[in-house]
Structure formats: structure tokens, C-alpha cells
Chain A
Amino acid sequence: MAEYISGVVALSLIYVIATVGLAIFTGFTGLFSLGHAAFFAIGAYTAAILTYFYDVNFWLALMAGGAMSGLVGVIIGYPTLKAKLRSDYFAIATLGFGETVRVLLENLEITQGARGLPGIAVETTLSMVVGITVLVMWIARNFVCSRHGRAAIAVREDFVAAEMMGINLFRVRLRSLVFSAVCGGIAGGLFAHYVSFIQPSMFTSVLSTQLTASVVAGGMGSITGPIIAAIIFVALPEMLRVANIWRLVGYGLLLVLIMLFRPQGLYGYRELSFNSCRSLLNWLTLSAWRNGGKT
């Protein structure tokens, strides 16, 4: 029983890592990536191929997976963000991208196609996942509470005014995309070395939908909200033994209902702004301790 629970927790946290990445991207750009499962898949396959076929050290493989996803993020992000696509066109482009990646995975030699890769070494442990989740959140916090985070928030608040502040919109958006891609990639690598067997059908729009739903339900513009939503979306169906298909029916309905009745989701815009920075900074910086908690 304990093993079962720790399994659910580990899996939840793996999705949380990917969700945090997507939340940062959507929270800062207002754009939706509907093909985010692709980054998860790229990270999973890259890491798995390296450890399985080439005996590469797990940690190196994991980082390579993240790096590969990041690279693909740049390749996808460059044309789509440079063209300043409006949110629905960007979404369609990412959808196409997600599908293309899946088709590629099904047809390339090295990924063994639709059969998938069995027998991947199980390296991921619960403590590892917890550690990486905390690390990712720490890095995300650092980003938000800095001049880079300020620039990203400005872009989200009013991109016309942000440009007038000397902010390069394209660079800010691309950065967010690459960060979210790397998060997805690392989560994917952890996933592959946890479930030990991966195949393309695991990384379909079902996963993208789950990630998207987590961000919307949690609140676009927040980190904590999507984290909570992600955990609920993994844990609840597990506990209720709900079949995959009905899960999706639920996500679809949930998205519409949230838009109609509570568009800000759980946490709304509260977090990705400075108020949260000040209170957290107080704990993280020594000088604040000296000043008794005042900035």
C-alpha cells in the first residue's frame, strides 16, 4: 500500500514538473501550447535511448533529454514567436507540432516505432523526484523575482507598454518557451526511467490536454494553482479508478465550466507578480532577516 501511494505521489510530481513549465509559459505569454506532450516525449525518448542503447550515465541522459527538448523548443519557438502569432494560431501550430513529433516517433528506426522501448532501467526514486521538483520550483521562483521575471510580467500585462520599456518581446517569450520545454523534457526523462517502458501512444494529446487543463484549472498566472490541479488530476482518477476516456470527457467539460464560471481558476493572477516575491524573498535572503522582514 505504501508503495502504491509513493508511486502515485512520484507520478504526480513528475507531471507537476512538466506542468510548472507550462504554467510559466502560459502565465507569462498568454499563449497556449497544445502540443506540450511532445517535449515530454522528446525528453523521455532521448534519455531512454541514451541509457538503453549507449549505456550513458542516468543523470547525464536526463540532462540531455532536457537539453534536447529545449533545443526543439527553440526550433519551434523561433518561427512561431517571431511571427507574433495570435494565441489561437500559435495553439494550432503547437498542435501540429505535437502531432508531427508523435508521427516521427512512430516512424523512426531508433525509437523502435509504435512498439516502443521496453526494459528501460528504473532509476527514478521518489526522493529524486521530490528533490528535482523542489529545485525546479526554486529556479522558477528565482526567475519570477528578478528583472527577467519583471520583464515577462510586463509583457503579459501590456505588451505594447512593455516594448516601450525596451523589452524585447520575442526574447522574453522564447525564453519562457524554452524553460517550459526543458521542464517537460526532464519530466519525460524521469517518467521513462520510472515506468520502464515507453511508446508513442503514451504521449498523445491526452497528455497535452491534461497539462493544459491543469494550468487552466489552477489559474493562468499562478504556479501553485496548476501544481495543485496537476496533483488532483493524477491522484483523483487513480483513486476513483476512472478510465482514461471518461477522464478526458471530464477535462473537456471542466475547461468549459471553468471558462464560464471561474475563468481565473484556483489561484488566478495572484502569484506571478511581486507580492509573492516579497514574502518569499524575506525567507530566502539573509539581509531580510537582519531587517526584520522588511524589504
Chain B
Amino acid sequence: MFIQTLVTGLAIGGIYALMAVGYSLVFSILNFSNFAYGSIIMLGAYMGYFAMTEIGMPIGVAIVLSIVGSAALCFLNEKLAYSTLRKRKASSLYFMISAMGTAIFLENLVYATIGSRFYAFPQVLTQLNLEFMDISIGVLDVFAILFSFLAILTLHYFLQTSKIGIAIRAASYDMQVCELNGVNITKLIGWVFILAGALAGISGMFLGMKYMVYPTMGWITNKAYIAAVIGGLGSLPGAVTGGLILGVLETFVSAYVSSVVRDAFSFTLLVVLLMVLPTGLFGKFLEEKV
């Protein structure tokens, strides 16, 4: 039971880590919480689902489609809802409201058009289990862990070596100086959202496969925020660590205590952390110059 819970926890943690990284990418550059991220994840899941069921694509293609589609949507989201605010140098409150509006709009649009039905992915991978030593581990979970690991590794490599990646890392420290050094900020921000969107697509697919696909599934990004806080705002390694820790902790609480308590636990953890350790494990130091 312990190993099983641990594996499930790591799988969930991997997905949380993906979401937290996507969220932290945007946060570290634009300094606001992209509340619409959850709806991108949701749309990614829907895209993959309908690709498989309506168009009959195999699962691999569906995942790729979801990644590309989500990346595009996320990019569009920025262009439509945020870029004007950025040019106006609006405070982060306005970004937040715009993000919220986008999320509400998208979620309810899906509700109104596609409907509130919960969709379950075809049982390709979802029911397969590895059995050994009396323990049953879901193949899906293993795949989720592997995929998340791969995705984060790829991202890390991209950020360390590619020109855009380095620019992104620089911009997360000081965007103005970056601009003064000749970096095209608009292009850079576009790339950040594309990357975040890609991560959203993967998260959406695995969440949809592990659980179900429904309009409000995007709210799970609240967990991403919590994970990002645990790891430290603006820190990518922190986001990964936070995601894994949260996933494992939550799953254990759900398994050994009760699943109803699970969400209350996570939110309480968030509030406690923000009071006790606001910079998280790896967070950057932020004190305002007066």
C-alpha cells in the first residue's frame, strides 16, 4: 500500500510539477498569477480527448496535438488578454482580473457549448497495471512520471542552452535591463507562453487520462500555485520540488486520512506556508525599495 501510494503520489506530483513550472515561467517573467492557465490545461485535455474519440487518432498523436494546441491557445491568451495591459504598464491586479475573466469565459463557454458531461478517456493505458511483489502499479502513473521528467529535462536544457532560453532566464531577473540589451521582449514573452502552453497540454492529457475530462478540471491549477509557493515563487527547480512534495503529501493524506480532507489540507498548507515561509524553499529575495 505504501509503495502504491508513493508511486501514485509521484505521478500526481509529476503532473503538479509540470503545472507549477508552467505557472512559474509566466510568474517569473510577468510577476502575476495566470489564473487562465487552468482553462488552457482543460482545453488541452478536451482537444486530446476529441482527437482520440471523434477523429480516431492514436494516443501518441493526440498528446502531440494537445501540446501544440495548448501552446497556441496559451500564446493567443497572452496576445488578447494581457499584452495590452503590459504595454500600459498596468499593475498586476489588472492582469489578475483579466486572467480570471478569461478563465471564467472559457470554462463556461465549454459548459454552455459542449456540456457539463464528464468524459473518460478510452481505456488504453488507464487500466493497465504492473504487478510484482504483491504490488500493483498503474502503467499510466509510470508513464506520467516518465513524461513529466522528460518534459522538465527538455525545458531545462532549452533554458540553459538556447538563445531564447537564456534570454528568458535573464528577463526573470530584470526585464528592463534585458530590453536595454536588445532583447525583443514581445517575442520573448510569446515564447514563454508557448512553453507554458506546451506543459499545460501534457498536464491536461495526463490529468484527463488519470481522472476525467470536464469543464472545471482547470481548477486543479490551484495546486500548481501551492506547489510553486512551497518551492519558492519564481524558482523553477522550486516548482518541480514543490510539485513532487505536494503530490506525495496529498496522496498520502487522501489514502490514509480521507479524500474529502485532501483539498482542505492543501489550502491550509498554503496559508500556513505563506505565513511562515513566504519565500518557500528556493525562493528569490524580494524586499521593496522605498
Q: Do chains A and B touch in the complex (CB under 8 A)?
A: yes
Could you tell me the distance between the alpha carbons of A137 and B181 in the complex, rounded to whole angstroms?
53
Q: Measured between C-beta atoms, what is the minimum distance from B199 to chain A in Å? A: 20
Interface residues of A in 84-115 (CB under 8 A from B): 85-89, 91-93, 95-97, 99-100, 103, 107
Which residues of chain B come closer than 8 Å to A258, judged between CB atoms? 97, 101
Interface-facing stretch out of A37-45, A50-58, A126-134, A241-249: A241-249
Which residues of chain A come closer than 8 Å to B33, judged between CB atoms? 88-89, 91-92
Q: Measured between C-beta atoms, what is the minimum distance from A86 to chain B in Å? A: 8
Task: Tell me if A2 is interfacial: C-beta within 8 Å of chain B.
Answer: no
Interface-facing stretch out of A4-12, A75-83, A141-149, A189-197: A75-83
Interface string of B96-114 (1 = CB under 8 A from A): 1110111111111101100
Which residues of chain A come closer than 8 Å to B111, judged between CB atoms? 245, 248
Which residues of chain A come closer than 8 Å to B267, judged between CB atoms? 93, 96-97, 99-100
- A79, A88, A263: residue with the most chain B Cβ atoms closer than 10 Å: A88
Interface of A is mostly: helix
Q: Is the CB of A95 within 8 A of B85?
A: no
Q: Is the CB of B271 within 8 A of A253?
A: no
> Chain A: how many interface residues by the 8 Å CB criterion?
42
Task: Tell me if A118 is interfacial: C-beta within 8 Å of chain B.
Answer: no
Which residues of chain B come closer than 8 Å to A120, judged between CB atoms? none
Task: Tell me if B90 is interfacial: C-beta within 8 Å of chain A.
Answer: yes
Interface string of B74-106 (1 = CB under 8 A from A): 000000110011000010111011101111111
Q: Is the CB of B278 within 8 A of A83?
A: yes
Q: Is the CB of B105 within 8 A of A103?
A: no
Q: Measured between C-beta atoms, what is the minimum distance from B98 to chain A in Å? A: 4
Task: Tell me if A260 is interfacial: C-beta within 8 Å of chain B.
Answer: yes
Task: Tell me if A25 is interfacial: C-beta within 8 Å of chain B.
Answer: no
Task: Tell me if B225 is interfacial: C-beta within 8 Å of chain A.
Answer: yes
Given A92-B270, A100-B264, A160–B290 Cβ distance below 8 Å?
Answer: yes
Q: Is the CB of A245 within 8 A of B112?
A: yes
Task: Tell me if A232 is interfacial: C-beta within 8 Å of chain B.
Answer: no
Q: Is the CB of A216 within 8 A of B274?
A: no
Q: Is the CB of B274 within 8 A of A85?
A: yes
**Cβ-defined partner of A93 (8 Å) among B85, B108, B271:** B271
Given A32-B97, A88-B96, A103-B264, A263–B90 Cβ distance below 8 Å?
Answer: yes
Which residues of chain A come closer than 8 Å to B235, judged between CB atoms? none
Q: List 26 A-B contacts (CB under 8 A).
A: A32-B97, A80-B271, A83-B274, A83-B275, A85-B274, A88-B35, A92-B270, A93-B271, A96-B267, A100-B267, A103-B263, A107-B260, A245-B111, A251-B101, A252-B100, A252-B101, A252-B106, A255-B104, A255-B105, A256-B81, A257-B101, A258-B101, A259-B81, A260-B81, A260-B98, A263-B90
Residues of A at under 8 Å CB distance from B? Answer: 30, 32, 34, 79-80, 82-83, 85-89, 91-93, 95-97, 99-100, 103, 107, 160, 209, 212, 216, 243, 245-246, 248-249, 251-260, 263
Q: Beyond the given A103-B260, A256-B105, could you list 18 further A-B residue pairs with CB under 8 A, ordered by the A residue number?
A: A32-B96, A88-B35, A89-B229, A93-B270, A103-B264, A212-B100, A243-B112, A245-B108, A245-B111, A251-B104, A252-B100, A252-B102, A256-B101, A259-B97, A259-B98, A260-B81, A260-B85, A260-B98
